[in-house]
Structure 1
Amino acid sequence: MTQVQGIASPEPAARDSALRGWLGVGAVTGATFTVVTSEMLPVGLLTPISDTLRVTEGAAGLSLTATGLVAALSAPLITAALGRTDRRLVLCVLLAVLTVGNIGAAWSPNFGVMMGARVLVGIGIGGVWAIAASMAARLVPAKSTGAATALVYSGVAVASVIGVPAGTYIGALAGWRAAFLVIAGLALIVLVAIALLLPRLTVAQVVPLRAVLRLAREPQLRTALLVVAFLVTGHFAAYTYIRPLLEKVTGIGASTIGTLLLVYGIAGVIGNFSSGTAGARSPRRTLMTISLPLALTVLLIPMLGGSLWLAVTLMVAWGLSYGGVSVTTQNWVFAAAPDAREAASSLNAGVFNAAIALGALVGGRSADAFGVTSAMWLGGALVLVALTVAAIGRSPEQP
């Protein structure tokens, strides 16, 4: 009788363990949603922030650029400094830093305090990005790693659909400071969920900073990082200036543009999940498959965006394509460095955030110098460069 009980008992235990693992993945997804919303929140609040703090809108935009750059630098540095520290504890501390940064932004009496608060937000973002994806892969069985990674990165797409528009709406309803307070409260809620739902997650192998940076020399990982650099820079060079382009080419108003961006975001969520499994099996092939329509979409919008329905179609294609970029490149990074996933993820997070800041910068310079259409040409060209690098570079897949 004891033997029968011993054989039967692991099944409910296994089910409980699997459920807890997926609940943990859901909590980590909440963390990615929170950091992306925190990073992008100033986009919809630049005008009231600049009015209140008495700076230009361009200066207020530095609150976004600075956050991206700090996140890019902090991702590999934090990972190297962590040692064997329990990653659940680390994630809780990072979310606490994010909470304090958002509260500081809400309180800021002047622009200097705002920038200091946004530096804290950048530290939280870089750290979360560096460890979130590798944590998710450890919470579920190996066969579910692709799905878990896709779920974690869905936080990015959902933030663009719900987080940033909701923050903008709260800002219009109750003031921009209230929007920062709400996201601070969300960060605190996610912190509690992480503490309750995740097990202790220690690291068997410590990777020092020098070894983290040496990873970038590995041909397969170097190819992935170059693809991320060109593709994400190209995307944000174009996407940052999509509103003025649509106003110029399509002649639509702010409300219609908001609807188009919502459609884009929904398509991005679909693209994220549809690319998750395929990206886990064949990251290079999946990335090449989504990069070509992404480049063509960005290049065609200035020419075909004059028709509202064509503009809608192109925005859907753009969302579906770019929605799969984060999860696919992360799967490439995992496959390229299977024994150093967290360190490789930190490099990926650093390059990704640096590319966001660089894309907004070079797109703006191009738009100022040659007109907003040039930002689309530049963005499309950079995505084509990324496609070429993916095609000829080394990857974990057999040729």
Structure 2
Amino acid sequence: MSGEKKSDGTRKYRFKIFGVGGAGGNIVQRLAGGGEPVLAGIELLAVNTDAQALESLSGVETLPIGSAVTHGLSAGGDVEVGMRAAQQDFDRLTAAGQGVDVVFLAAGLGGGTGTGAAPVVARAAKEQGALVLAFVALPFTFEGDRRRQQALVGLDQLKAQADAVIAIPNDKLFRLVGENASVVEAFRQCDEIVISGVRAVWQLLARKGLINLDFGDLRATLGAKHSDGIFSHGTGRGADKAKEAVKALLEHPLLEGGEALAKADGVLVSILGGPDLTLADVQRTVEPISKHASRAQVIMGAAIDEAYREQLAVTVIAAGGASRRPVAAARPVLPPRPGVIPVVRPAPVAAAAPPAEPKKELAQPKQETLGLENVTKGRFEKGEPTVYDGENLDIPTFLRQGVRLSR
């Protein structure tokens, strides 16, 4: 992380993109074959349990994980399998992040490998001292509640490991491409968001610019926030290029009309322009953004690219704000240390209280009696009764007077 300049004017920072799972692999493949000259020099690595998916990639370094767990197959949508696979090859993941200054992690959440392995990959990179910025896609609503809930739990786990996580809800992509767009176009737009974010950070640190930033600035702004990230991008042309770029940025679906900036603690503003970029252009770009992010620490940088003559592109990456959604269910289980196979157990259910014993009613005081009955006179049955004062004295007194004898 010396930041020394190379002969072409760029600085010696190492950047690496970890594409985790199928969606992450698609992104690094596009970067490898899409002719992105501005990202030249960034290392690309695809991480997956699916050996066949990795073999289909070209121009990309691959790292198969979990061969003993999945035997070269996919995780089958099982997050636990994806996590165990990454844990099995934790040492290889750590080695892949050695000496890297900034790790960009790209994945789709909701499936098995992307959701389960991404937090482990992020932690492996963090243990090597890298700044980890994650870009993840959340499922479309039509993919079902189970997949969405699985994605949200995975998102919480990833935020606990990465410095900042920018979640891209696929449903919001419709606002960018239109509801009549094909699925391929929607996913391509998601790829564009990731590429724009990577480019914004890369050009500030690696390219010579009008206003340069160093790695310490970036880490101070985005490092260790462990929260929802915010992303937006806008471009403009001509005399009002700064105004147009800011307008497009604030109208981006992921920025929520600029309201999301008000919740952020740290905001990175990256400006890219041609040789005609002026300080006035920079001021007209940064000033309205700073007003929306009034409570945040705002840092900015401006880079020059010959291809952007009479153009201006602005990208915002922010972190540290309160979560924009309620956290569902229980706290996520963090991936265990290397060598420990994680076991996800259901949250303990509170033991039901034993049924209360019915109250015993206190017996009312009661005088128990002898069960004596009136008896016959036996051999004197036919004799005349002895009557005195109207009472038959042959009948015992306790019977005549109704006296009940106690036991």
Q: Do these two structures clear the TM 0.5 threshold for a shared fold by scoring above it?
A: no
Bigger Cα Rg: 2
Identify the structure with bigger relative contact order (alpha carbons < 8 Å, sequence gap 6+): 1
Q: TM-score, normalised by structure 2?
A: 0.31
Q: Comparing both structures, which one devotes a greater share of its residues to strand?
A: 2
Q: TM-score, normalised by structure 1?
A: 0.31
Q: Comparing both structures, which one devotes a greater share of its residues to helix?
A: 1
